[in-house]
Amino acid sequence: MGYMDRKRALEIVKQQMHEKRYIHTIGVMETAIELAKQYGVDEKKAEMAAIFHDYAKCRPISEMEEIIKRENLPKDLLHYNKELWHAPVGAYLVEKEVGITDADILQAITYHTSGHEQMTMLDKVIYVADYIEPGRKFPGVKEARKLAREDINQALLYALKHTVQFLMEKNQTIYPLTFQTYNAVIKEDFTK
C-alpha cells in the first residue's frame, strides 16, 4: 500500500505524537503539497511522506536504538546525534505498523534528516518542507522559504549548509551522509 486517505493518515500520526509535533506535521504536509505542485512531484506521495515523516519522533530513544540494532538499519547512526534516528526508524515503523510500502515514500521519510547523495525530487520536497514549514522560527528561515519558491535545489543547498554550520557551532558530530549529501548537491549541475 502506498496511499491512504489524508484524514485516516492524520488520525494515525496524531496518536504517535504530542500536539506541537502534530502541528509541525500539518505545516510540513501543507508545505510539501505546495512544493510538489510547483515542482511536478506526485502530490499524494508528498502528502503521505510529509504526514508520516516524524512518525517515530516521539518514540523512546531506547526503542529506536533497539530497532536500529535489530533491523537492517545503518548501525553507524548509533554513533551520531539521536535526532537522526527517528527518520530511518520511522520509515521502518510506517511500513511495519501502518502498511505503507511505497519505496519512494519510505525513502523520503528515511532521509528527511540527513539527505543522501542521489536525492529524488520527492526527497528534496520533504527535506525542504520540513526545514521551512510555517512553524519554523530561526535566523535564515525567510531566505530558505524564498529560495524554495524559486529553486528547490538552491533551497536544499541552503538548508544543508546552515544545518552543518549550526551543528558545528554547537560542537556536535555531523553524520557523514549529511556531508556526502552536501558535496553531491554542490557538484550537481542544475542547468540540465
Least confident interval from 79-83, 87-91, 142-146: 79-83
Of the candidates 159, 160, 156, 16, which has an alpha carbon nearest to the alpha carbon of residue 90? 16
Of the candidates 25, 20, 28, 24, which has an alpha carbon nearest to the alpha carbon of residue 10? 25
**For 148-171, how does the pLDDT look when each residue is reduced to its tens digit (9 = 90+)?**
999 999 999 999 999 999 999 999
Beta-carbon contacts of residue 160 (< 8 Å; ≥ 6 apart): 115, 178, 181, 182, 185
Evaluate if residue 189 carries a pLDDT over 80: no
- Give CA–CA dist 121/164, Å, rounded: 21
- Give CA–CA dist 52/64, Å, rounded: 16
Asked if the 6-187 domain carries CATH number 1.10.3210.10, the reply is: yes
**Average pLDDT for the chain:** 95
Evaluate if residue 190 carries a pLDDT over 90: no
In which band, very low, low, confident or very high, does the pLDDT at 96 lie, cut at 50, 70 and 90?
very high
For residues 95-120, one letter each, b for 16 or more C-beta atoms within 10 angstroms of the residue's C-beta and e for the rest, the string is beebebebebbbbbbbbbbbbbeebe
**For 23-54, how does the pLDDT look when each residue is reduced to its tens digit (9 = 90+)?**
999 999 999 999 999 999 999 999 999 999 99
Evaluate if residue 192 carries a pLDDT over 80: no
C-alpha cell at 110: 528515511
Domains of the chain, by residue range, sit at 6-187
